[in-house]
């Protein structure tokens, strides 16, 4: 493992900032409760005497201070975890590049994992907004299993553990994850091969469930055996290969590229690993080739079925608007194109929803109408198409852009399956000619779609029914467990509140006293700050004193700014 400077940051009472210098791994204390167990741990890891350790812990209440230098990442994480268990909040941060890092208290914030990775409110969070705002802005990932079915945190975690063990760790008849000498792969059991789709799904599951070792093994296999770094497929992944790594087809399946990039971006932020970010940025750059071979149509800004061989039509289940939205925010290249693509992706997904059945076709044109290619199944609601419900449901609760349109799609498809009584899986686009039995994957995807119905009147029982089916669904074993099993697993991450947008916290958030977002800073903004404090609402962009809460200190900060601004005009 390459050496770089790492700090463990511990915070309980005050939010502070730390500046680092180039070097190896190290440990910082920011603030921590001055109690015997914490002091004991500090002594064990540093060799300090009792008084020295006590003074260090007490000093951390006021300003950052070193605990340990030049340790490995694993050692740093172990210390962070141990301190967290004692009531401190320990944050492991890569400070190789001397960047500003914010530290926040655990007891006043619930937006960090045990290593300090952040998934909380965004600076764009519009306080008092009258329109729906998703978890990206608010940091609220409350599971509907809790609010609708009354499940406890312990029950939800047990469900997540069951899913992980079943598909990644149990016996050969249930798991789809297999390790090799140079990594690991997700196996399509029925076809006996390794698919980019499954590999990217596996990586997303790993980053969201905090399994870095398995993530790295999957990524090593994908990089070594599937990732193209030159030629017409440069930046893309061979869509399937043998378990040995031998490619069966060089062409890509673009839904995999979407999940590969998104999982790498989230992993870079959650685990503070720059190499993931470098790889993600390489792929993002190669998705736009200024001509033939772009992953998205250069004319329509909608994802293609395949960039080189089938660039003139799409697969609506590849529409992942929340992912594209994040690409537009986080990509270092082609930001204007990604922004257009985010808008057009939402357009395309809505147009792809049949106006009465709410179903989606397997393949379609850029105007949303079914596209015939290869077989007649291409124009029907089949295997790929069920994912569209998960995609728009995800977009609703993560962002909420065009919330009303997403709710229309959700009403259409849930009303349709209610009439069908959740009996069938395959239909014509208009809902005629039902066949086959309702699947595990559909059970999960349609439950995620219900996020968009939670503010709609008259849908509570339908929501509960879908959530209950997803919760009680029997996990798949045997020959066909790969696809439906993983789609259901991804759906359960969304429904358990465990599919989070992990954010890069290494950049300073500028102060913005325009609380009511009217373009002016005046007394009205101070009044709005008072309302926020009174209602116990938190928004990062208005945490002016940077202590991870909104209180009178933030009101004072806004008031002083307004008075200073007013005095400057006299």
Question: Catalytic residue numbers?
Answer: 197, 384
Residue position matching structure tokens 């995800």: 394
Burial of 395 (C-beta count, 10 Å sphere; 0-12/13-18/19+): buried
CA distance 104 to 123: 16
Structure tokens at 67: 């605990």
Q: Where are the alpha helices (DSSP H) in 165-195?
A: none
Helix (H) or strand (E) holding 415: helix 403-420
Cβ neighbour number for residue 161 with a 10 Å cutoff: 12
Residue position matching structure tokens 């929803």: 353
Q: How would DSSP label each residue in 124-158?
A: T--TT-SS---HHHH-----HHHHHH---HHHHHH
CA distance 237 to 63: 47
Which is nearest to 338 in space by CA: 367, 311, 306, 301?
A: 301
Assign 3-state DSSP to the chain and report helix, strand, coil percentages, each to 5. Answer: 45, 10, 45
Could you give the C-alpha distances from 318 to 42, 321, 366, in angstroms and in order? Answer: 50, 9, 12
Burial of 340 (C-beta count, 10 Å sphere; 0-12/13-18/19+): middle
Residue position matching structure tokens 């070193």: 66
Q: How would DSSP label each residue in 276-312?
A: HHHHHHHHHHHT--SSTT-SB-TTT--B-SBTTTBTT
With both helix axes pointing from N to C terminus, report the angle between 387-398 and 403-420 in degrees, rounded to the nearest 10.
140
Which is nearest to 3 in space by CA: 55, 76, 54?
A: 76
Terminal C-alpha separation, the chain: 60
Burial of 427 (C-beta count, 10 Å sphere; 0-12/13-18/19+): buried
Structure tokens at 461: 């029982």
CA distance 546 to 219: 37
CA distance 119 to 100: 18
CA distance 250 to 307: 12
CA distance 297 to 317: 16
Task: Say if CB 457 and CB 421 are below 8 A apart.
Answer: no
Burial of 437 (C-beta count, 10 Å sphere; 0-12/13-18/19+): exposed
């Amino acid at each position: 493992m390459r050496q770089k400077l790492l700090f463990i940051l511990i915070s309980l009472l005050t939010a502070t900032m730390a500046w680092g210098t180039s070097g190896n791994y190290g440990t910082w204390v920011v603030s921590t409760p001055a109690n015997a167990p914490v002091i004991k741990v500090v002594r064990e890891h540093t060799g300090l005497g009792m008084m020295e350790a006590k003074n260090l812990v007490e000093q951390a209440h006021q300003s950052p201070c070193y605990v340990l230098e030049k340790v490995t990442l694993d050692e740093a994480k172990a210390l962070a975890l141990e301190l967290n268990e004692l009531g401190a909040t320990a944050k492991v941060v890569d400070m190789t590049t001397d960047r500003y890092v914010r530290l926040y208290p655990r007891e006043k914030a619930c937006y960090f994992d045990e290593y300090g990775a952040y998934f909380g409110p965004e600076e764009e969070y519009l306080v008092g907004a009258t329109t729906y705002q998703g978890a990206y802005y608010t940091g609220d990932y409350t599971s509907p299993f809790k609010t609708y079915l009354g499940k406890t945190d312990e029950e939800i975690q047990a469900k997540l553990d069951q899913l992980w063990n079943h598909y990644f760790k149990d016996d050969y008849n249930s798991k789809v994850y297999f390790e090799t000498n140079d990594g690991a792969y997700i196996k399509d059991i029925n076809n006996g091969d390794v698919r980019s789709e499954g590999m990217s799904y596996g990586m997303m599951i790993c980053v969201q469930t905090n399994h870095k070792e398995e993530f790295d093994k999957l990524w090593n296999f994908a990089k070594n055996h599937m990732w193209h770094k030159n030629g017409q497929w440069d930046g893309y992944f061979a869509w399937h290969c043998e378990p040995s790594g031998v490619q069966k087809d060089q062409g890509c399946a673009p839904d995999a590229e979407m999940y590969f990039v998104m999982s790498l971006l989230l992993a870079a932020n959650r685990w503070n690993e720059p190499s993931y970010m470098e790889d993600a940025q390489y792929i993002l750059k190669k998705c736009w080739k200024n001509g033939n071979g772009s992953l998205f149509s250069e004319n329509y800004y909608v994802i293609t079925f395949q960039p080189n061989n089938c660039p003139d039509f799409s697969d609506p289940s590849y529409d992942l608007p929340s992912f594209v939205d994040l690409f537009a925010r986080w990509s270092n290249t082609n930001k204007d194109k990604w922004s257009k693509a985010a808008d057009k992706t939402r357009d395309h997904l809505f147009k792809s929803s049949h106006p009465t059945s709410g179903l989606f076709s397997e393949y379609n044109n850029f105007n949303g109408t079914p596209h015939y290619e290869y077989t007649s199944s291409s124009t029907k609601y089949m295997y790929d198409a069920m994912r569209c419900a998960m995609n728009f449901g995800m977009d609703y609760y993560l962002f909420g852009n065009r919330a009303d349109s997403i709710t229309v799609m959700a009403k259409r498809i849930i009303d349709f399956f209610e009439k069908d009584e959740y009996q069938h899986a395959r239909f014509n686009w208009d809902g005629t000619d039902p066949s086959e039995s309702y699947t595990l994957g559909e059970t999960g995807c349609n439950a995620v779609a219900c996020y968009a119905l939670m503010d709609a009147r008259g849908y509570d029982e339908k929501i509960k029914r879908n959530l209950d089916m997803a919760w009680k669904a029997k996990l798949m074993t045997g020959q066909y467990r790969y696809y439906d099993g993983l789609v259901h697993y991804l759906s359960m991450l969304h429904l358990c509140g465990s599919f989070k947008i992990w954010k890069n916290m290494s950049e300073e958030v500028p102060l913005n006293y325009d609380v009511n977002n009217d373009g002016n800073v005046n007394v009205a903004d101070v009044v709005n700050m008072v309302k926020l404090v009174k209602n116990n609402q938190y928004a990062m962009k208005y945490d002016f004193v940077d202590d991870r809460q909104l209180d009178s200190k933030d009101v004072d900060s806004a008031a002083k700014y307004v008075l200073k601004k007013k005095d400057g005009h006299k």
